[in-house]
């Protein structure tokens, strides 16, 4: 029974990690079929599914939503179709870091016709926790695609993206509104945090199910920036992300 439980848990954890997706673009005149860098994740509410990343990931790469190629799973060959964009308008103030969010709504009708894998996303109704509920020294997990862990497949003429699960310790509030700070503590040994912007940040909420002690991943935020030299990263609270995608329900 324990062996079966461990096998099911391993399958669940792999599917959970697949919620994090690399940011890729496709251009016909590019040397490689797909190119790009950065991290993102899939999120769902009771009505819609969304793709989420940091807005500066899109602007820094000069990429467009039309050229974007986000695959819903590691073994998928069909990229997600989108039908609406959601961003927070920046007013040019001094403290607008929390507005660095870019969301695309997934076209579920088109996906049902062309999707080649199940669509797995973090559910905001059962799998979200406000970062404001965290306590100092809480253990966090960041799932993303550091640029230095990508490699070029010359034969296939593609850039292969390697997903990393990174341990961090919550430090407290950032000086930026609605943002928070965590200290990276991982054995992966990254020399740069380039590519991790847009990564989902999770807190594993403990729970007991009879004789089994379980942990449920709760999305608490999205990574915005950080440096390997300081080992510190800043992330926006998941509460702000949910407030943004709630606009889709109003549109519906």
**C-beta of residue 194 within 8 angstroms of C-beta of residue 209:** no
**C-beta of residue 54 within 8 angstroms of C-beta of residue 197:** yes
What is the pLDDT at residue 127? 93
What is the pLDDT at residue 51? 97
Q: What is the CATH number of the domain that holds 29?
A: 2.40.10.120
What is the pLDDT at residue 1? 44
Q: How far apart are CA 76 and CA 206, in angstroms?
A: 32
Length of the chain equals: 252
Q: How far apart are CA 54 and CA 49, in angstroms?
A: 17
Tell me the per-residue pLDDT of 188-206, one tens digit each, with 9 for 90 and over: 778 899 999 999 999 998 8
What is the pLDDT at residue 114? 86
What is the pLDDT at residue 137? 97
List the chain residues with pLDDT less than 50. 1-11
* H and E: helices and strands count for the chain: 4, 16
Our count of domains for the chain comes to: 1
What is the pLDDT at residue 209? 65
What is the pLDDT at residue 96? 80
Q: How far apart are CA 2 and CA 5, in angstroms?
A: 5
Domain span including residue 81: 2-251
Query: How many C-beta atoms surround the C-beta of residue 234 within 10 A?
Result: 19
Tell me the per-residue pLDDT of 209-226, one tens digit each, with 9 for 90 and over: 666 677 889 999 999 999
Q: How far apart are CA 63 and CA 66, in angstroms?
A: 8
Tell me the per-residue pLDDT of 15-31, one tens digit each, with 9 for 90 and over: 778 999 999 988 765 56
């Amino acid at each position: 029974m324990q062996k079966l439980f461990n096998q099911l848990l391993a399958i669940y954890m792999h599917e959970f990690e697949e919620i994090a997706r690399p940011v890729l673009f496709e251009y016909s005149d590019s040397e490689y079929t797909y190119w790009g860098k950065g991290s993102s994740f899939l999120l769902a509410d009771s009505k819609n599914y969304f793709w989420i990343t940091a807005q500066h990931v899109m602007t820094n790469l000069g990429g467009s939503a039309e050229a974007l190629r986000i695959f819903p799973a590691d073994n998928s060959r069909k990229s997600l179709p989108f039908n609406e964009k959601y961003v927070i308008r920046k007013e040019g103030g001094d403290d607008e870091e929390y507005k660095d969010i870019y969301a695309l709504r997934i076209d579920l009708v088109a996906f049902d016709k062309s999707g080649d894998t199940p669509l797995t996303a973090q559910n905001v109704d059962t799998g979200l926790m406000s970062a404001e509920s965290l306590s100092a020294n809480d253990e966090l997990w960041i799932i993303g695609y550091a640029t230095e862990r990508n490699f070029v497949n010359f034969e296939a003429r593609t850039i292969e993206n390697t997903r990393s699960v990174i341990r961090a310790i919550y430090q407290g509030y950032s000086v930026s509104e609605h943002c928070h700070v965590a200290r990276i503590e991982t054995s992966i040994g990254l020399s740069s945090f380039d590519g991790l912007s847009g990564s989902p940040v999770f807190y594993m909420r403990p729970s007991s199910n009879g004789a089994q002690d379980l942990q449920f991943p709760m999305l608490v935020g999205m990574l915005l920036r950080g440096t390997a030299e300081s080992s510190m990263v800043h992330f926006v609270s998941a509460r702000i992300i949910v407030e943004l995608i709630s606009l889709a329900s109003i549109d519906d």
